[in-house]
Amino acid sequence: MTVKFTKMHGLGNDFVVIDAVTQRVRMSPELARQLADRHFGVGCDQVLVVEPPHSPETDFCYRIFNADGSEVEQCGNGARCFARFVRDHGLTMKRRISVETKGGAITLRVEPDGQVTVNMGRPRFEPTALPFQADRARKRYTLELEDGPVSFAAVSMGNPHAVIRVDSVDSAPVARLGPALQAHPAFPKSVNVGFMEVVRRDHIRLRVFERGAGETLACGTGACAAVAAGRQLGWLAERVRVDLPGGRLSIRWQGGRKHPVWMTGPATRVFEGQLEL
Ligand SMILES: N[C@H](CCC[C@H](N)C(=O)O)C(=O)O
């Protein structure tokens, strides 16, 4: 069976995007792994599958599979690429699109300049962001790892994040600490590990070792989690420029439990292709 796909990226965080609205596609963890393989498949950090909505309030459903085949709750860069994909493929003419994900419904706005603004929902700092029980009031946790204690903020953007403040992202031990935290019993579902350098109150640099994909060139939910954590800890302003290895995102969070995190950034189409499944 021939299935069309589009290769896209959000600041270098790359995706294979498949229209399962007009095509009959049954995604599986095994197929996602095959598609994501950079030698035997197309190659990507995540596979995104666009499906019809389950509820009348939303326009679409979109499913997210990491390169390791795990299906996850949310993907910020993927959401922007999803919005561009459904318009480019004539699945909608809307500029304001609502979509269901495993982590909840989000709304997207395609700007006249082609950038996409996403309401990523409210950040959650409760221990639900951490499977182990912890003091709700605590804004940072410390775990004893082999190399010593590591302090981090725990934030859920629908998917789990641990945000570590570092002096410099260039020298941050991303390849060592990322996997160590992900393997820790405190995170039985693993975790996305962000390394945040605060340049100014309105500017951070960030690297993210992602769950199910390793270090990526950008992570949208990671940028939202880092800004929410930094603001919660009093280090950041409401509007923050986030510089990731693959480029820049604009993140805004007013703070407080009621307000969502807003993310604005690009969505790029690389090529169209087709698969024999
Ligand atoms: N690796 C993430 C999913 C992709 C998130 C990232 N690509 C983004 O842009 O938010 C997880 O397992 O929760």
Mutate to test the pocket of ligand 1, among 211, 227, 242, 249 (most ligand atoms within 8 A of CB): 211
Phi-psi region of 14 (alpha: psi -120 to 50; beta: other; left: phi over 0): beta
Domains 2-120+266-276 and 127-259 agree in fold: yes
Q: What average pLDDT does the chain have?
A: 94
What is the structure's pLDDT at 111? Answer: 96
What is the structure's pLDDT at 205? Answer: 99
CATH 2.60.120.1440 for the 127-259 domain, yes or no: no
3-state helix/strand/coil string of 224-239: HHHHHHHHHCCCCCCE
Name the pTM for this structure. 0.96
What is the structure's pLDDT at 186? Answer: 87
The CATH code for residues 2-120+266-276 is 3.10.310.10
Q: Which residue has the CA at smallest separation from atom 3 of ligand 1?
A: 75
Binding site: residue ranges? 13, 46, 66, 76-77, 159, 192, 210-211, 220-221
217 touches 12 (CB < 8 A):
yes
- CA torsion sign for 184, 189, 195, 200 is negative
- The tens digit of pLDDT for each residue in 217-247 reads 999 999 999 999 999 999 999 999 999 999 9
The residues spanned by each domain of the chain are: 2-120+266-276, 127-259
Going residue by residue through the chain, which has 277 residues, state the pLDDT in tens, using 9 for 90 and above.
899 999 999 999 999 999 999 999 999 999 999 999 999 999 999 999 999 999 999 999 999 999 999 999 999 999 999 999 999 999 999 999 999 999 999 999 999 999 999 999 999 986 655 655 454 556 788 888 888 999 999 999 999 999 999 999 999 999 999 999 999 988 989 999 999 999 999 999 999 999 999 999 999 999 999 999 999 999 999 999 999 999 999 999 999 889 999 999 999 999 999 998 8
**Ligand 1 pocket residues where CB is under 6 Å:** 13, 45-46, 64, 66, 72, 75-78, 159, 192, 210-213, 216, 219-222
What does the DSSP assignment read for 54-70?
A: SSTT-SEEEEEEETTS-
Instruction: Please tell me the distance from the alpha carbon of residue 33 to that of residue 69, in angstroms, as a whole number.
Output: 5
Task: State whether ipTM is beyond 0.85.
Answer: yes
Residues annotated as catalytic (active site), given as ranges: 75, 219
- CA torsion sign for 117, 164, 146, 142 is negative
